[in-house]
Amino acid sequence: MADTKKLFIKTYGCQMNVYDSERMAEAMGGAGYETTETPEDADMILLNTCHIREKAAEKVYSELGRFKGMKADKPDLKIGVAGCVAQAEGEEIMRRQPLVDLVVGPQAYHRLPEMEEKTRAGEKALDTDFPEEDKFEKLKGRSKAKRAPAAFLTVQEGCDKFCAFCVVPYTRGAEVSRPAERVISEAQDLVERGVREITLLGQNVNAYHGAGLNGSTWSLADLIWKLNEIDGLERIRFTTSHPNDMQDDLIAAHGECAKLMPYLHLPVQSGSDKILKRMNRSHTAESYIRLIERIRAARPDLLLSGDFIVGFPEETEEDFQATLDLIKEVKYGQAYSFKYSTRPGTPAAERPLVDDAEASERLQRLQALLSQQQKELQDAMVGREVSVLFEKEGRFEDQMVGKSDYLHAVHVAGSGAQIGDIRKVKIVESGTNSLKGVAIA
């Protein structure tokens, strides 16, 4: 029997890339690979890349440069680039870094075993197509190894919104939703392997419109209610959403579905209608605020998370103040904020930039406000009882760490809990980025 080969995957970016890396590992498992935690041990290295952040491609080239010596010492080592940078750069990656053996886009990674076989024959392999076949169905079945208690599950990919700053429509393609039956089957498999919480993933996850079990088209709310019926699945989350796709049935599910957690990531990006229009967001600050009011009417204790871009082309101080005003009105328990950076090929790329120092100063002010809100809402958790899913052991003896219903990290000592247990916990202390609690049940 041939020796098992080793695969090292480095994952950049979003939760969907984490999910994709798991599936790549499974695909290569069928080709005789098992994963390793160190590139030095690997027979194949895959960089699963993200193109969202500034200078993403240059960071990948820098990372590849670190492997030159390894490739010289180990000529049979195969190096691949996957994900969104692979989709955007294509053949340019192989031209700039000849040590790369294969380049595969995020919609074609089910073809990795065939591509790897091609590289073993001494050829280069490139596949950045958007194939018609369902990559999820082409992948070999998951192994039945026990899983961590929380898992990601991709249900939708791609985006049709074409925000002026975003490369996703070009790297992930048009919106595609997986059939509900396949999602449910994968969720059941995950639960059988120890998963108790599933986060449904999509670039625009609340735009889900998959084929339902009865021949109709299902919304995300329809899918959530069906997943709600799975015994052993205790928690459901979803990310990332677009305000324009928050339909009435999904809002209602937040108030009525006990397994749907009281946490929502709903990016707004700016509080200025002028900038939102320039961004091609297709919503206004007012419509976003009214939407939040409706969601909170359905689930008053909902913790809201958001995304913000500052220094977008043509943003004035008045526009920025409108963003601060929106944040003050909405109150976020968590948020991600960034200074605008140009993405070649996007509509905003040709527009004049805001002065960099001014944009940086705005980002500092915005992050200070968001941090203050996060601390206030986190401090308000002290004295409350929450449900915690324990996911790992803590740094100290007899300490467990888990996530609350609201996605706060919670440290609990002396609970006697095991990984995968869900316990009622009373919050007794608020730290910088986590809470401390004592088990009460």
CATH number of the 5-127 domain: 3.40.50.12160
Out of 10-14, 226-230, 232-236, 294-298, pick the least confident: 10-14
Residue 48 dihedral angles phi and psi, to the nearest 5°: -95, 105
Q: Which residues are annotated as a binding site for [4Fe-4S] cluster?
A: 14, 50, 84, 159, 163, 166
The average confidence (pLDDT) of the chain is 90
Question: Of all helices (H) and strands (E), which one includes residue 413?
Answer: strand 409-413
140 pLDDT more than 70 = no
Query: What percentage of residues in the chain have a pLDDT greater than 70?
Result: 94
Averaged pLDDT, 109-127? 88
139 pLDDT more than 70 = no
Averaged pLDDT, 68-86? 87
Out of 128-137, 188-197, 331-340, pick the least confident: 128-137
pLDDT, one tens digit per residue, over 336-356 is 999 999 888 889 998 999 999
Q: Which residues are annotated as a binding site?
A: 14, 50, 84, 159, 163, 166
CATH number of the 385-439 domain: 2.40.50.140
pLDDT, one tens digit per residue, over 251-281 is 999 999 999 999 999 999 999 999 999 999 9
The band of 138, judged by pLDDT with boundaries at 50, 70 and 90, is low
Domain with CATH 2.40.50.140 in the chain: 385-439
User: How far is residue 100 CA from its own chain's centroid?
Assistant: 26
The band of 93, judged by pLDDT with boundaries at 50, 70 and 90, is confident
* Strand, helix or coil for residue 82: strand
Residue type, 241: S
Cα separations in angstroms, 334 against 193, 267, 429: 31, 11, 18
pLDDT, one tens digit per residue, over 411-427 is 999 888 999 999 999 99
The whole-number pLDDT of residue 386 equals: 97
pLDDT, one tens digit per residue, over 170-185 is 777 889 999 999 999 9
The band of 329, judged by pLDDT with boundaries at 50, 70 and 90, is very high
Residue type, 6: K
The whole-number pLDDT of residue 2 equals: 53
Domain with CATH 3.80.30.20 in the chain: 135-379
The whole-number pLDDT of residue 412 equals: 96
Averaged pLDDT, 155-164? 92
Expressed in angstroms, the distance from the first to the final Cα of the chain is 51
CA–CA gap between residue 329 and residue 333 (Å, rounded): 13
Domain with CATH 3.40.50.12160 in the chain: 5-127
CA–CA gap between residue 237 and residue 422 (Å, rounded): 16
314 pLDDT more than 90 = yes
250 pLDDT more than 60 = yes
How many residues would you count in the chain?
A: 441
The band of 212, judged by pLDDT with boundaries at 50, 70 and 90, is very high
CATH of range 135-379; options 3.80.30.20, 3.40.30.160, 3.40.190.10, 3.10.20.90? 3.80.30.20
Question: Of all helices (H) and strands (E), which one includes residue 435?
Answer: strand 435-439
The whole-number pLDDT of residue 285 equals: 98
The band of 1, judged by pLDDT with boundaries at 50, 70 and 90, is very low
Annotate 187-214 with DSSP letters as a single string: HHHHHHTT--EEEEE-TTGGG--EE-TT
Beta-strand runs (E) in 289-383: 303-310, 334-339
Within 8 A by CB and 6+ apart from 164, the residues are: 278, 279, 280, 346, 347, 348
The band of 146, judged by pLDDT with boundaries at 50, 70 and 90, is low
